[in-house]
Structure formats: structure tokens, C-alpha cells
């Protein structure tokens, strides 16, 4: 007498011959934009749902200190790619108006707001920026000015023991509070110079000493050094923790010779600085273990107004294997939106599951082999220790198996691995549905693969497997 279970087993297995023991799974891909975490385009001094800057200007100096509700209820960003990362930066004077009195509530609220709007937070504190100098209390200590500048500019001498001491205290306090926070995407190593970007007048010894303070203070949170600085050269030699890098003025291909050299033969960032500094700082292969961020030179609409070649800029950018693009929360021109979206999709990781081989049946507790071919169509790996997982489901019963494969080693192009795992207990005889996802430590899907089928929880349905007694 046949049972309902027998009929269910035959219904999905009838396409396979009676002697077959394995199945090949080839899910249908999707070409839609995948707004995945830890990669893509960022907002700047803003969060998802906030209005963009009203024109081509932006504010480097003043990070958010007030956090009103989003203007867009759906958290969309208008003429700007969707994002999963926010980038903010504040001046030292704003965050520490009195020695030791850090305004943690500002950064706390920024992290909280970003998380509420589906983002992680990249952030930086700046020794001085624009018209905002170091805190008044710092100058009251008798700290020295940079001898190469006018005193009225109030630019510190980064080699002054007072500067080294007080800035180090500032970074240590931030590390004590924020290191290891899962909602912090990264923290900039910004020890000197305007906006903390150039290193200022810091000597090699000072630069290394200050960079080490960051390394000691943030052993768990991703750090990003500034391309072209001595701090970048120093941290490039440290693989534990691995340090990424960021570069400003991405897209700069200005051509005006200003009567000094022929037009089209002048210095610019894309042709002169990036290739040279990436080589000389020793960061050519850093992308394999830590992320790269690009910040635009001016803004994307400025590029359009200047007549610069967007296709060339984006193509060259991808050669450095970046993960994050920060265009300053200024609108993307309509004519270029599709190209910027395609660029954003390729930043970081972008996983296409080509094929998975599984058995047609398995017994709980038995060793099961899975073989996976997955194509990373992005330009970099993922850097978070997530897991590729299989879920076996019967009605409301679910069993999740996290594979031991280190997905941080899935480099661009084809990746293949096989693994044996114990088939989970607690499943009854008969059909079990199989799905996959990239999950966090709580077995919650956090990254979408480029698979068309996806359920409400973020799992990708793949096939079935017969559970034996």
C-alpha cells in the first residue's frame, strides 16, 4: 500500500533515474541590483532617507549632531544609489570640547541611526578641518604650531609631544568605546593634516607612532589608512589586524595646463597619484584582506560639467578592487545613473552560484558531501566572517548547517570547494526542502546571492533531498 510520503518522494524524484545518487542544482540568476551590506555607495554626513545636498557643494567639517526622522519614509535617497553604508566625520573640537569630555552621544546616535536605516557606519575624527582648528583647551596647554605655517592658521605641529599625547588619548578613548561594535563598518586612520588626510608635517617616526595607536586601540574594528601617507606605508606591513585604505579625489582627470604645461599633460590624481602611491605604499594586494574606499574628487555632476570620461574613470577605479564609493551625497546626473549603479554593483563582492552538487538522499548523522562552484562577479571579497549555510526544512522544522568554508577567500571570478558535513538530526523520513544563504553568527541571512528565488527570510530555495530512516 502506497503512502502519502512515498508519493511525495516520487513527485520530486521522478525526473531522476532510479540509479541516480547525486543531483546538480543550477539556480536561475537575477540581474537586479543587490543592495548588500558592507559594500557599494555610501551616504555622506547623512543616512538613508535624508535629503541630498541641494547643489554641488558638501560639508567636510560638520558631521551630524541632530538626527531628525527621515524625509523619505521608504528610506530612498532620490538621485543617488541605494546604500547600506553611511560615512560621517567630525572635528576634534566638536567631539572633545573639553579634555576627556568626549561627546560620545553624537557618535552613539549616528551608529544607532545608521543601523535603524539599514546601514553600518564608517567614521573619522579630524584633528582640524577648514576653519575649525584643534580644541581651545589643546592650545591652552602651550602646544606648538606647525613651524611651516603662520600661527594665525592655528595648525598644530604634529611632532609636538603635546599633540602626540592628546591626540593619542582621543583615539584610545574612541577605541575603548567603539572597537568591535558590529554596526561600525570602519574607522579612518587620520592622525594629521587638514581633515586628517595628508599626515601634515608628521615625520616618519611620528606617523608610525600615531598609526600604532590606532592599531592598538582598534584591534577588532576595520581600519582604513590614507593612501600616500607614511601611516599607510607603515600599516601596509601589518596583516593582523589587516588594514585597508581609502583615497580622496577619485575621478580627478583635470586637463588644464594653466599655461605652464600643455593641456592634457598636467598632473592629476587618476594618472599620477593613484598608480604611484599604491605601488610605493605597498598596498597593491591589500584588497585581498581588507577593503578599499574611494571618495570623489569634487562630485559626479562636476565630472559631467567638466566633460570627463565617466566610463574611463569607473573602469580604472575597478582595477584597484574597491569595495566602497563615497560621492558626498550629491545627486548623480540622470544620464549617468545606470553606469554608476552598475559600478556600485561590482564594488566588493557579488556572488553568483553556478552549481551545487548534493546527494538525492541522506540519513541523519551520516556524512554528506556538497560541491559548490560560485562566481564572484565583484572585484573584491567580503571581509566579514559570515558563513555559507544550507537549510533543510520540513514544514516549520528547520535545520541549519553552516559550512566551514571561509567565504572571505572567495576572490573575483570562479571559486570551487567541496566539503563534508553531518546531515542534521531532527528531520523525519521523506522530503526536506533545501535552501542556502550567507548567514551571521545567529544563522540569519545577511547577504543576498544573485539568485532569483528568495523567500521572506532571505533564504534561497534550491532543491529537495530525501531523508532516510
DSSP character string of 292-304: EEEEESS-HHHHH
Residue 11: pLDDT band by 50, 70, 90 thresholds? confident
State how far the Cα of 364 lies from the Cα of 367, in Å rounded to an integer.
9
Percent of the chain residues past pLDDT 90, beyond the cut: 92
Report pLDDT for 358.
Answer: 98
Report pLDDT for 290.
Answer: 97
Parts of the chain belonging to CATH 2.60.40.770:
4-32+350-467
CATH superfamily, domain at 40-346: Glycosidases (3.20.20.80)
Please give the helix or strand (H or E) that residue 138 lies within, else none.
helix 136-140
Span 352-370, pLDDT tens digits = 999 999 999 999 999 999 9
Residue 12: pLDDT band by 50, 70, 90 thresholds? confident
Report pLDDT for 151.
Answer: 83
Mean of pLDDT values over 249-258: 94
Which residues have CB under 8 Å from 221's CB, separation 6+?
A: 175, 178, 179, 180, 181, 184, 186, 187
Q: How far is CA 203 from the centre of its chain?
A: 30
Largest alpha-carbon pair distance within the chain? Answer: 97
Round to the nearest angstrom and report the end-to-end CA distance of the chain. Answer: 19
State how far the Cα of 321 lies from the Cα of 316, in Å rounded to an integer.
10
Please give the class, per CATH, of domain 4-32+350-467. Answer: mainly beta
Which residues have CB under 8 Å from 128's CB, separation 6+?
A: 91, 92, 93, 134, 154, 155, 156, 194
Report pLDDT for 13.
Answer: 83
DSSP at 242: B
Span 32-83, pLDDT tens digits = 999 999 999 999 999 999 999 999 999 999 999 999 999 999 999 999 999 9
Least confident among 159-168, 190-199, 217-226, 235-244? 235-244
DSSP character string of 301-326: HHHHHHT--HHHHHHHHHTT---EEE
Q: How many CB atoms lie within 10 A of CB 409?
A: 12
DSSP character string of 197-208: -S-TT--HHHHH
Parts of the chain belonging to CATH 3.20.20.80:
40-346
pTM, full prediction: 0.95
Span 377-411, pLDDT tens digits = 999 999 999 999 999 999 999 999 999 999 999 99
Q: Specify the 3-state DSSP secondary structure of 253.
A: coil
State how far the Cα of 148 lies from the Cα of 156, in Å rounded to an integer.
10
Residue 6: pLDDT band by 50, 70, 90 thresholds? low
Beta bridge partners of 295: 326
State how far the Cα of 461 lies from the Cα of 27, in Å rounded to an integer.
9
Mean of pLDDT values over 74-98: 97
State how far the Cα of 358 lies from the Cα of 368, in Å rounded to an integer.
8
Report pLDDT for 9.
Answer: 53
Report pLDDT for 292.
Answer: 98
Report pLDDT for 3.
Answer: 47
Residue 7 has pLDDT above 70, yes or no: no
Report pLDDT for 1.
Answer: 43
Report pLDDT for 2.
Answer: 44
| Triad 353, 39, 286: Cα angle to 5° | 95
State how far the Cα of 128 lies from the Cα of 115, in Å rounded to an integer.
28
Amino acid at each position: 500500500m502506497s503512502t502519502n510520503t512515498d508519493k511525495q518522494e516520487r513527485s520530486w524524484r521522478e525526473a531522476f533515474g532510479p540509479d541516480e545518487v547525486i543531483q546538480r542544482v543550477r539556480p536561475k540568476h537575477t540581474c537586479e541590483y543587490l543592495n548588500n551590506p558592507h559594500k557599494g555607495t555610501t551616504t555622506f554626513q547623512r543616512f538613508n532617507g535624508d535629503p541630498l545636498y541641494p547643489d554641488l557643494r558638501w560639508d567636510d567639517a560638520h558631521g551630524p549632531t541632530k538626527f531628525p526622522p527621515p524625509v523619505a519614509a521608504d528610506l530612498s535617497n532620490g538621485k543617488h544609489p541605494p546604500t547600506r553604508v553611511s560615512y560621517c566625520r567630525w572635528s576634534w573640537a566638536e567631539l572633545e570640547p573639553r579634555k576627556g569630555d568626549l561627546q560620545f552621544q553624537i557618535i552613539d546616535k549616528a551608529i544607532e541611526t545608521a543601523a535603524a536605516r539599514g546601514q553600518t557606519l564608517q567614521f573619522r575624527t579630524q584633528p582640524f578641518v577648514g576653519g575649525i582648528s584643534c580644541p581651545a583647551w589643546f592650545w591652552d596647554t602651550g602646544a606648538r604650531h606647525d613651524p611651516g605655517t603662520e600661527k594665525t592658521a592655528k595648525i598644530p605641529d604634529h611632532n609636538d609631544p603635546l599633540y602626540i599625547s592628546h591626540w593619542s588619548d582621543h583615539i584610545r578613548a574612541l577605541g575603548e568605546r567603539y572597537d568591535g561594535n558590529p554596526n561600525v563598518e570602519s574607522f579612518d586612520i587620520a592622525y594629521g593634516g587638514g581633515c586628517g588626510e595628508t599626515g601634515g608635517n608628521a615625520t616618519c617616526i611620528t606617523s608610525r607612532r600615531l598609526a600604532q595607536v590606532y592599531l592598538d586601540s582598534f584591534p577588532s574594528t576595520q581600519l582604513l589608512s590614507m593612501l600616500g601617507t607614511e601611516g599607510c606605508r607603515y600599516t601596509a606591513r601589518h596583516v593582523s589586524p589587516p588594514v585597508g585604505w581609502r583615497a580622496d579625489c577619485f575621478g580627478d582627470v583635470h586637463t588644464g595646463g594653466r599655461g605652464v604645461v600643455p593641456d592634457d599633460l598636467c598632473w592629476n590624481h587618476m594618472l599620477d597619484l593613484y598608480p604611484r602611491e599604491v605601488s610605493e605604499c605597498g598596498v597593491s594586494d591589500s584588497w585581498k584582506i581588507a577593503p578599499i574606499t574611494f571618495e570623489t574628487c569634487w562630485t559626479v555632476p562636476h565630472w559631467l560639467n567638466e566633460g570627463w570620461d565617466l566610463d574611463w574613470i569607473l573602469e580604472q577605479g575597478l582595477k584597484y578592487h574597491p569595495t566602497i564609493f563615497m560621492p558626498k551625497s550629491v545627486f548623480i546626473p540622470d544620464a549617468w545613473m545606470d553606469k554608476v549603479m552598475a559600478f556600485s554593483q561590482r564594488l566588493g563582492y557579488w556572488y553568483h552560484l553556478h552549481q551545487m552538487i548534493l546527494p538525492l538522499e541522506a540519513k541523519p548523522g551520516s556524512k554528506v558531501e556538497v560541491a559548490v562552484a560560485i562566481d564572484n562577479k565583484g572585484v573584491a571579497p567580503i571581509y566579514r566572517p559570515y558563513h555559507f549555510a544550507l537549510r533543510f526544512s520540513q514544514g516549520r522544522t528547520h535545520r541549519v548547517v553552516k559550512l566551514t568554508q571561509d567565504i572571505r577567500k572567495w576572490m573575483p571570478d570562479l571559486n570551487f570547494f567541496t566539503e563534508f558535513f553531518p546531515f542534521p538530526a531532527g528531520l523525519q523520513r521523506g522530503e526536506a526542502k533545501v535552501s542556502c544563504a550567507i548567514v551571521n553568527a545567529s544563522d540569519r541571512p545577511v547577504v543576498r546571492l544573485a539568485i532569483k528565488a528568495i523567500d521572506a527570510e532571505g533564504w534561497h530555495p534550491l532543491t529537495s533531498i530525501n531523508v532516510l530512516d
